[in-house]
Every structure is written in structure tokens, then in C-alpha cells.
Amino acid sequence: MTRRFGPAHWLAFLLPLSLLAGVWGAQLIGGLYPCEMCHWQRWPHYAALGIAALAFLVPQPRARRALVALAAVAIAVSGAIGVAHAGVEYGWWHGFTACTSTIDFSGLAPSQRLDAIMKAPLIRCDRPAWTLFGISLAGFNALFSLGGAITILALLRRAR
């Protein structure tokens, strides 16, 4: 019996692999350190990568398809987090974490001001570390992840 791995399966595996390789390269080689929301976007890709890898080991086609669909959902979750993060970066809405807060010095004594500065996040979620054509890394993650998830699900549906 020959196992056939279709384009949906390969995309579900290679998309999170390449996106994670890109952000790790940007971090380790390019010096672009991630904020808290950047890390949130990585976790669903780690899950999708593991799920898609597991699907290569499953002999039953229906179970394999279910795992690939689940990987697509995880990729879409990362894309949704990317939309939320990009919205914070572009100022469309306020952030969800302390890494997007600004320091309010009103009513603080000088010693409290220094303490507030020292507790401020090093990498802010509301400032993009890098952009290309006005699109931040979070924006690119949203585009690639949501587009990839839709493509994977469409390929799975077409293969039926």
C-alpha cells in the first residue's frame, strides 16, 4: 500500500516550518527580538508543525486528512493573532498586554518614575521591529497564515 501525501499536507507542514525558520532567522541573525505577542503567534505554528508531521506517520487517509485540517486551524489561529498584533502596531486598537502600555508619570514621585521606567517592557508590542511596504512581520504572518490555512482547507476539500 502506497501512502500519498497531497499538496495540502505538504503545505500544512512546510508553511509553519518556513515561517518559524524565518522568524528565528530574523531573531538570531537579524537581531529582531520578539515581543510577547510575537511569541503568541509562534505557538500555533509549533503545534501545526507537530500535527502535520504526525500526519505523515498515520496510515489511515481519513485520520491523516483530519490531522492536516487541524494543522490548518492552528495556522489560522496564528494568523488571527497576527491580525490582532498588526492592529496594535498600526494603532487600530489597544494592546492586550503590558508590553503595549506607555508610562504615565502623572502623580508619580521621582523614585516611582525610575521604578516605572525599569518595569517597562524592553520590546514593545505596539512598535513594529521591521516593515516592508508598510507591512510588519505580524502583518505578513497574518497574510501568509490565513491565506495558507484557506488554501490548505480548499485543497483538502478539492481532494475529496
Q: Which residues of 83-102 are buried (b: 16+ CB within 10 A; e: fewer)?
A: bbbbbbbeeeeebeeebbee
Predicted confidence pLDDT, tens digits, the chain (160 residues): 445 789 999 999 999 999 999 999 999 999 888 888 999 999 999 999 999 999 999 999 999 999 999 999 999 999 999 999 999 999 898 877 666 556 677 888 888 887 877 776 567 788 888 889 999 999 999 999 999 999 999 999 997 7
pTM of the model: 0.82
Domain ranges within the chain, ordered by starting residue: 7-159
The three-state secondary structure class of 125 is coil
CATH number for the domain whose boundaries are 7-159: 1.20.1550
**Parallel/antiparallel/unpaired status of strands 131-132 and 135-136:** antiparallel
∠ Cα 133 134 135 (to 5°): 95
CA-based nearest residue to 97, from 80, 73, 81, 79: 81
CA-based nearest residue to 55, from 47, 45, 65, 40: 65
